[in-house]
Structure 1
Amino acid sequence: MSAIRFFHLADLHLDSPFKGLFGLPEHILKKIRSSTFDAFDKIIRKAIEEKPDFLLIVGDIYDGENRSLPAQRRFQDAMEKLFQHNIPVIISYGNHDHLNGTWTRFALPSNVYELPAETSVVQLKIRGQQVNIYGFSYNKRHLKQSMIDTYPIAQDQQVIHIGMLHGSEASDTSHAMYAPFTKQQLLDKNYHYWALGHIHKRQLLHQEPPIVYPGNIQSRHRKEQGIKGFYDVTLSQNAAELEFSPTSAVVYNTIAVECANVIHANELLNKCTEAIAAHRIKYGASVVELHLQHIDEQTEALFEHATVDAWLETIREAEEGLEPICWVQKIIVQKSARLDNHTAITQTVVDLMEQWDSNEWKDILKDLYQYAGGARLIDPLTEEDIKQLVNNAQALLVEEIQRV
C-alpha cells in the first residue's frame, strides 16, 4: 500500500486579541493583530500548491467560544478553497471553541468533517489505502475527565489508524489540565500516529509511532517564543516522516546582547542594532526583548544619566522605518553577579552596618528579642552572629540590585 501525506496543525486561535502589547505604532499593531490569519493563509496556500491528501486541525481553531464573525468568515473561505481542490479537512473543537458556545453559524463545505462531542471515526480511502481517523470535539470548556478510553483499539493493521486528541499529558502540570492522558494509554491503542493539540509548544512525545504536538501556528505573547508552524507528515504502516513547516507571521523572541567592557553609548547602541539586524535576517517580522548581558561597573555607568526607558526609546527610533519590523518591547539589564565587587550603594550600606556595635544591633533587633513568643527560641546575640548578619545582608543587597 502507498504512503499517505497530511498536514497536522492545531491551536490556530484565529482573531486572538493579543493582550499585553503597549505603545506600538498603529501599523505594527495592525500586523500583529492580523498575524493569526496570515499564518493560517500560509498553510492554505501551501496545501493548494502541494495538495496533501488531507488536513487535520486538532482543536482551538477560534480563540473564543463566541467564534468571531471575521474569524469564521476567513476560515469558511479557506475551506471553500480547499473544497475546490478536493482536499478533505478533519477538524475538532477544543476548550476555547467548544460546542456549547454561542455564535452565528457559518456552513462549511462538504470536504470538512467536524468531529462531534462523542468520539467518532472518519474513514477515507486514499489511492486504495483505507485511513481511519478518530477523535472528538469538546462539548464544554472545562473538560477535565479523561477521554482516552472512548477511543477504540486498532485491530486491522492493513488500515492506517490516526488519533486526534486536544488535551494534556497527565504528567504535564505547566498548562491547564484538559482531557488528560498518559503516553502509554496512547500507545496501547496501536495507532500509527497521534495528532495532538492544546499545548502551544512543539513536542514529539514518542518517535515510533509518532505522538506529536505541533504547537500553535502563531505566537500570541512573549511567553510563546520562537518560530511556530505545523507538521507535514508522510505516513505508512511501517514508517513516518515529519517535516516542520514554519508559519509565523510575527516571531516573539529574546535577543541576547553581550555588553562586557562596553564604555561608550555609541558602542552599546551599535551592539543592540547589530543584534536586531541579525535577528531580522533570520526571523523576519518580530517582537523582541533585548537582554543586555554581563553589565559590569563601567557599562552600568551608561545607565546613570539615561534611564532604561530612554535607551528603549533611542533603540526604537533607530529601528523606525526598517522592514521587516522588529519591535523592541522591553529591555532587560542583566548585571554581573559578583559579591566581591559591589556597587557604590551596596558598599555604603555594608560600611554603615559594619560600624554598628553590639548595642546598636540589639537596638535594631529589639522587636524580635522582646517578642515573648520568640525570645525563648533565640540565643543571645554574639559577635559571630553580627558578622553573619552583615554577610547575609550584603548578599541580599547584591541579589536585589541585580533584579533592578
Structure 2
Amino acid sequence: MSTIRFFHMADLHLDSPFKGLFGLPEDKLKKIRESTFEAFDKIIHKAVKEKPDFLLIVGDIYDGENRSLQAQRRFQTAMETLFHHNIPVILSYGNHDHLSGSWTRFALPSNVYELPVDTSIVQLKIRGQQVNVYGFSYGERHVKTSMMDTYPVAQDSHAIHIGMLHGSESSDATHAVYAPFKKEQLLEKNYHYWALGHIHKRQLLQQSPPIVYPGNIQSRHRKEQGIKGFYDVTLSQTDVELTFVPTSAVVYNTIEVDCSDVLHANELLTKCEEALAINRQEYGASVVELQLNNIDEQAETLFEHASVEAWLETIREAEERVEPMCWVQKLSVAKSTTTTYEPTVATESVINLIEQWGMPEWKDILKDLYQHAGGARFIEPLTEQDIEHLKINTQALLVDEIQRA
C-alpha cells in the first residue's frame, strides 16, 4: 500500500503583537516578537532537509486581516524556498486572515495552492498514489454556519482523501465557534485524515481515522503554555504515523517554587534561580510565571519590608544577562497559613456587591483601560473566565487591605 508523508500545521499567526507583555528590555521584546517567524523558519528548514511530499497549512497564517508587509514577505520567501525544492503547499485562510481583509498583495509561487471561499479539491499524484485534499478559505471573519454539507463524501476507493477545516466542534466554547462541526459529520465523509486548525491546543479528537488539531506553532501569551509545534504525518489508506515536532522559539510556562523552611532572602533567591535554571535547560528561551508556594509565617517576614514587585525586579536583575532568556513576567506568593479577619457589615456588603456585577458592570469599570488608544491592542478581549478571576482577585485584595489596616 502506497504511503505519503506531509506536514500538518495551523495557526501560524505570523507577526503577532504579543499582548500583555510589559517592562521587557528591548532585546528580549525583539526575541519574543520574532518568535512566530523563528518557529515558522524551523518548519521550512526541516521541510527542505527531509523533503515531505507536501505541506498543509490550515488557516490563520497571518495574525490580522491587514497582513503586515513583513509577515507577507517572510511567508512569500519561504514559499519560494519550497518551490525551489519541489515541495507543494496547500493552504487555507481562517478567521484572522480572511479574504475580505485589506492588504498589499504578494504573488505566491506555483507550488502553492490557495483554497478559495467555496470548498474545493486539490489533487496530487505522489509516486503513483492519487491524493485528494478538500477545504475552503474564510471569505469573511465570521463563518458561524457549518460548512460540512459542502464537503463531498469520498468516492474514489483508490485515492487517499484528506479534509482541511479551520473550525471548532459545536460544543467547544474555549474559542469562538467558527465553521462548527460534529465529529460524526467528519467521519461520515470517509476521509483518511482530517487536518484541523483554529484551536491552539494540540489534541487528537479521533485516532482512526485521525482527526487532528496540531495547535499553533508558537505561543502568543501566558494562556498558551507549553511547547508548540506541528505534526509530521505518514499516511496510507490503512495506517497512520503521527510525530509531533516542536517549533516553539519561546515557551510560556508556570514554575512552582517550594519555599518550605525558607528564612533568609538569599535562600529564597537561590531557590528561584535554581528553578529558573531547570526551566531554561528543559525549554530554552521562556516567559514564565513564578509561583512561590508554602510561604510559612517565618518566610512571610521577607515580604514585610519589600513588596512582591521589589522581589520581582530583584529576580529579573539576576536573570538579566543569562542566556537563553527566561523572562519572569509575574511573581505570585502562596502562603501556607492564612490570617483570619473579623468581617464587618461594610466589607461584607462590598463583597456581595462585587458578586452581583456582570459583564456590563465590569466593562464599565474597565472602560478607561480598554478604550485607551495606546494600550487596548495589547490586551485580550474580556471573557467570562476573566471576570471570575477579577472577582476572586478583587475580593482577595480587599481582604488583604483589611488585614493590613
Structure 1 length-normalised TM: 0.85
CA deviation profile, 1:265-294 (whole Å, cap 9, x unmatched): 111111100000000000000010001112
Q: Tell me: CA distance 1:87–1:322, structure 2 relative to 1, closer, same or farther (3 Å).
A: same
Residues 198-217 of structure 1 mapped to structure 2, 5 A cutoff: 198-217=198-217
1:138 and 1:199 mapped to 2: Cα distance? 16
- Per-residue CA distance 1:226-269 (angstroms, 9 max, x = gap): 11000000000011110000001111111111112211111111
Backbone CA RMSD of aligned residues: 2.1
Map Cα deviations across residues 165-219 of structure 1 (whole Å, 9 max, x no partner): 0001111011101000011110111100000000001010000011000000001
What letter matches 2:29 in structure 1?
L
> Secondary structure at 1:248's aligned position in 2?
coil
How many angstroms apart in 2 are the aligned matches of 1:131 and 1:103? 32
Partner in structure 2 of residue 87 of structure 1: 87
Match of 2:52 in 1: 52
| Aligned-pair CA distance for 1:90 | 0.1
Residue type at the aligned position of 1:226: G
Tell me, in whole angstroms, the C-alpha distance in 1 between the residues paired with 2:297 and 2:398: 15
Query: Which residue is 2:34 aligned to?
Result: 34
Q: CA deviation at 1:25?
A: 0.2
- Matches of residues 335-350 of structure 1 in structure 2 within 5 Å? 335-336=335-336, 342-343=338-339, 346=340, 349=342
How many angstroms apart in 2 are the aligned matches of 1:401 and 1:169? 42
| Cα deviation, residue 157, structure 1 | 2.4
Paired with 1:141 and 1:34, the residues of 2 have a C-alpha distance of: 25
- Partner residue, 2:255: 255
Partner of 1:291 in structure 2? 291
SS at match of 1:234: strand
CA gap of 1:265–1:146, structure 2 versus 1, over 3 A, is: same
* Secondary structure, counterpart of 1:300 in structure 2: helix
Tell me how far 1:326 sits from its aligned partner: 0.3
Distance 1:364 1:115, change over 3 A: closer
Match runs of 1:242-281 below 5 Å: 242-281=242-281
Alpha-carbon shift at residue 399 of structure 1 (Å): 10
| Residues 92-142 of structure 1: CA deviation (Å, up to 9, x unaligned) | 000000011111110000000000000000000001110000000000001
Corresponding residue number in structure 2 for 1:325: 325
User: Which structure: larger Rg?
Assistant: 1
Asked if the contact 1:157/1:237 (under 8 Å) is kept, the reply is no
Distance in 1, Cα, partners of 2:162 & 2:8: 11
**Count of residues paired in the alignment:** 357
For 2:132, the aligned partner's letter is N
SS in 2 for 1:149: helix
Equivalence map 1:132-147=2 (5 Å): 132-147=132-147
CA-to-aligned-CA distance 1:338-390 (integer Å, 9 cap, x gap) = 5xxx43xx35x47xx8xxxxxxx9x999xxxxxxxxxxxxxxxxxxxxxxxxx
Question: Which digits, 9 at most, give the CA deviation of each residue in 1:42-88, with x for residues without a partner?
Answer: 00000000000000000000011111111000000000000000000
Distance in 1 separating the partners of 2:62 and 2:246:
20
Report deviation, 1:19.
1.6
Separation of aligned partners in 1, 2:133 and 2:57? 12
Residues 264 and 131 of structure 1, relative CA distance in 2, 3 Å threshold: same
- Quote the Cα distance in structure 2 between the aligned partners of 1:286 and 1:398: 29
* Corresponding residue number in structure 2 for 1:187: 187
Instruction: Specify the code of the residue in structure 2 equivalent to 1:306.
Output: A
Q: What is the alpha-carbon distance in structure 2 between the residues aligned to residue 189 and residue 209 of structure 1?
A: 11
The letter of the residue matching 1:188 is E
Would the alpha carbon gap of residues 309 and 127 (structure 1) be closer, same or farther in structure 2, given more than 3 Å must change?
same
Structure 2 distance, partners of 1:18, 1:133, is 33
Deviation of 1:309 (Å): 0.6
1:282 aligns with 282
How many Å separate the matches in 2 of 1:245 and 1:401?
45
Residue of structure 1 equivalent to 2:149? 149
- Corresponding position of 2:300: 300
The SS at the match of 2:141 is: coil
Q: Secondary structure at the match of 2:328?
A: strand
Residue 125 of structure 1 aligns to a residue in which SS?
A: strand
Match of 1:160 in 2: 160
Alpha-carbon distance between aligned partners in 2 of 1:399 and 1:236, rounded to the nearest angstrom:
60
Matched residue of 2:256: which SS? strand
SS of the counterpart of 1:16? coil
User: In the alignment, residue 130 of structure 2 is paired with which amino acid?
Assistant: Q
Q: Which blocks of at least 5 consecutive residues in structure 1 are unaligned? A: 354-360, 366-395
Q: Distance in 1 between matches of 2:184 and 2:398?
A: 44
Find the residue that maps to 1:327 and give its secondary structure.
strand
Q: Per the alignment, in what secondary structure is the counterpart of residue 269 of structure 2?
A: helix
The 8 Å contact of residues 154 and 161 in structure 1, kept in 2 or not, is answered as yes
- Cα 1:148–1:262 change in 2 (3 A) is same
| Distance change in 2, residues 1:218/1:150 (3 Å) | same
SS of residue matched to 1:322 = coil
